[in-house]
Each structure stands twice: as structure tokens, then as C-alpha cells.
Amino acid sequence: MLEKRPKSSLRTGLTYGKNSRVTTFDVLGLPEGQQAEIAERRKVWQIRRASNDGLYGDWYGRFENSDKAMASLN
């Protein structure tokens, strides 16, 4: 089963930890040697993948939210 782990976020306001939203997730649970990230880019959510060499490819997809991007990986 795949799982999202927050990787980076943006915040509004001065108080750390409040009013923040996650903008990038690592995807956990992929087959050995595979990696993926889901990120909000230009107001849409996109995915990029890496394989054994650890080099990420290009961003792809145009999803409304991170859950829909994640569902496309299943």
C-alpha cells in the first residue's frame, strides 16, 4: 500500500507550524529501487519518478490534488 510522507511545506504568517500546507510529498511503499514525489507546481499537482540510479525524471500529470495524483500511482 502506498503512503504519502510530507517533504516540504509553505506557511503564511509568522507563527511556525501554523497556517502551513504541504507542497511536496515523498511516496512510500513503491517496489524496491523506485522512488516518487508528488508536488504542487503551478497550481496543479504533478508526479516525478526515479529508479535505482536515484535520478528523477521530468514532472508529469495534472491533478486537482495530491490524493488524485497518488491514486494514479496505484
pTM of the model: 0.85
Number of domains the chain contains: 1
- Starting at the earlier edge strand, list the strands of the sheet with 20-28: 3-11, 20-28, 35-41, 44-50, 60-63
pLDDT at 10 over 90: no
Domain of residue 36: give its range.
3-73
21 close to 8: Cβ distance less than 8 angstroms: no
pLDDT digits (tens, 9 = 90+) for 15-67: 666 678 899 999 999 998 899 999 999 999 999 999 877 899 999 999 999 99
The pLDDT of residue 12: 74
The pLDDT of residue 17: 62
